[in-house]
């Protein structure tokens, strides 16, 4: 498995690579279980118990989600998730990020985001959707660097990243969404994400 050293404007000393679909997904689970209470809340929009996280990681192993992991000393300390487009009614892949508190503010989020975008482009995706809590300043600032214009609704912020326009992590001025796209982003407000969570809990209803 090829590790890629992190270079550029980051203080992170680890490496990043994609996890293999089944064998390595326990590494994702263990990383997510290490997230503290606040981080779990931010990452899972309120779903915080261990059993939920275990089922979530299992599901990622089965549904084709691509996990890009940040390793330090053989331990996954950060992850970027690229969910398959088939999970969304509008076929826009959902993305999500988690970095353990011990390695934050070192550029890990940025490097994971870059790798995820490269992976998404290689798959031919044109757009990505990110959804986060309305008060999650860290994620909103990070997403903003990659051109996501997040729109607030129902306690959440959601936005589309246009991969056909995006080049580098820069302020969002280079890729601000038009009014139609913004309206569509609100209409699709995290539908796919909630559908996935509801299915995991067996509630079987659409968001």
Distance CA 146, CA 133 (A): 18
User: Is 111 in a helix, a strand, or coil?
Assistant: helix
When the beta carbons of 39 and 87 are compared against ligand COA, the nearer one is: 39
Interaction residues for ligand COA, span 21-60 (CB under 6 A): 39, 42-43
d(CA 161, CA 46): 24
CA–CA separation, 127 and 40 (whole Å): 26
**Candidate segments 13-21, 56-64, 93-101, 148-156, binder of ligand COA by CB under 6 A:** 93-101
* Under rule CB under 6 A, residue 156 binds ligand COA: no
25 versus 79: smaller Cβ distance to ligand COA: 79
Beta-sheet pairing, 75-82 with 15-18: unpaired
Q: How far apart are CA 77 and CA 69, in angstroms?
A: 8
Smallest distance from the beta carbon of 4 to ligand COA, in angstroms?
16
The residue from 25, 76, 82, 96 that contacts ligand COA (CB under 6 A) is 96
Binding site for ligand COA (CB under 6 A): 39, 42-43, 96-99, 104-110, 132, 136-139, 141-142
């Amino acid at each position: 498995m090829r590790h890629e050293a992190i270079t550029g404007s980051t203080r992170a000393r680890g490496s990043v690579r994609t996890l293999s679909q089944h064998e390595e997904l326990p590494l994702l689970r263990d990383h997510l279980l290490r997230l503290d209470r606040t981080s779990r809340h931010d990452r899972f929009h309120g779903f915080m118990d261990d059993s939920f996280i275990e089922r979530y990681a299992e599901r990622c192993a089965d549904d084709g989600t691509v996990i890009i992991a940040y390793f330090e000393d053989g331990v996954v300390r950060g992850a970027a998730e690229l969910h398959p487009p088939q999970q969304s009614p509008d076929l826009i892949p959902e993305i999500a990020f988690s970095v353990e508190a011990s390695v934050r503010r070192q550029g890990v989020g940025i490097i994971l985001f870059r790798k995820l975008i490269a992976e998404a482009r290689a798959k031919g995706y044109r757009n990505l959707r990110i959804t986060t809590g309305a008060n999650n300043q860290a994620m909103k600032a990070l997403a903003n660097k990659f051109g996501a214009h997040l729109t607030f609704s129902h306690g959440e912020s959601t936005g589309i990243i246009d991969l056909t326009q995006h080049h580098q992590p820069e302020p969002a001025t280079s890729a601000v969404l038009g009014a139609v796209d913004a309206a569509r982003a609100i209409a699709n407000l995290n539908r796919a994400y909630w559908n996935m969570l509801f299915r995991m809990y067996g509630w079987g209803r659409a968001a």
